[in-house]
Structure 1
Amino acid sequence: MRPIIEFCTNNMHHGTDKVLQRLESNPDYDVIEYGCLGNCGECYSNPYALVNGEIISATTADELYDNIIAKIKEIEAMFDLLDS
């Protein structure tokens, strides 16, 4: 299953635009940018994105990237268990 990673354009001031660009370069990910994801409190205070609908946040954009990759690996591991 391809992970769906969603970003809010209003959150780009936290540096998430660079995270989005990094993730877009991977053809195994579906990366989508929206004008608003409706998580205004999170958006205002931290870099964040949604991974398969789950909020992933961090204190820095670099940490957000790491957290997104960790979540994707967690999801992949879960699907590997289901397939075995």
Structure 2
Amino acid sequence: MNPMVEFCINRLTPDVEEIKEELEADPEVDVLETACLGNCEICAQSPYALVNGEIVTGEDGEELLQNIRREIKEQQKKWDDLLDLL
């Protein structure tokens, strides 16, 4: 199952739009654009996205992308560790 990255349409600034497009080009990531993700306070303060439901923020688009990629790796490691236990 691919990680799901969700973006709020109200926060699609040019730098966040670039991130969204880059992630959409990655066949290992599913991307969704939503009218509102219900995190308006965060949305008003900084670029953000949800990675499998977890809030990921950044000071700018570049940092957001780095943090999204880091969160995807951390979540994948947790899944791998869990599967190793089974």
Amino acid at match of 1:66: Q
Instruction: Show the counterpart of 1:68.
Output: 68
Structure 2 counterparts to residues 3-82 of structure 1, below 5 A: 3-13=3-13, 15-82=15-82
Q: Secondary structure at the match of 1:15?
A: helix
CA distance in 2, matches of 1:42, 1:8: 11
Q: Relative contact order (alpha carbons < 8 A, sep ≥ 6): 1 or 2 greater? A: 1
Q: 1:33 to 1:49 in 2, by over 3 A?
A: same
Could you tell me how far 1:44 is from its partner in structure 2?
1.0
**Where does the alignment leave 5 or more consecutive residues of structure 2 unmatched?**
none
CA distance in 2, matches of 1:21, 1:13: 12
Count of paired positions? 84
Amino acid at match of 2:74: E
**Where does the alignment leave 5 or more consecutive residues of structure 1 unmatched?**
none
* Root-mean-square deviation (Å): 1.1
> Moved runs in structure 1, 4+ residues, more than 4 A?
none
Q: Secondary structure at the match of 1:20?
A: helix
Percent identity reads: 43
TM-score by length of 1: 0.93
Amino acid at match of 1:67: N
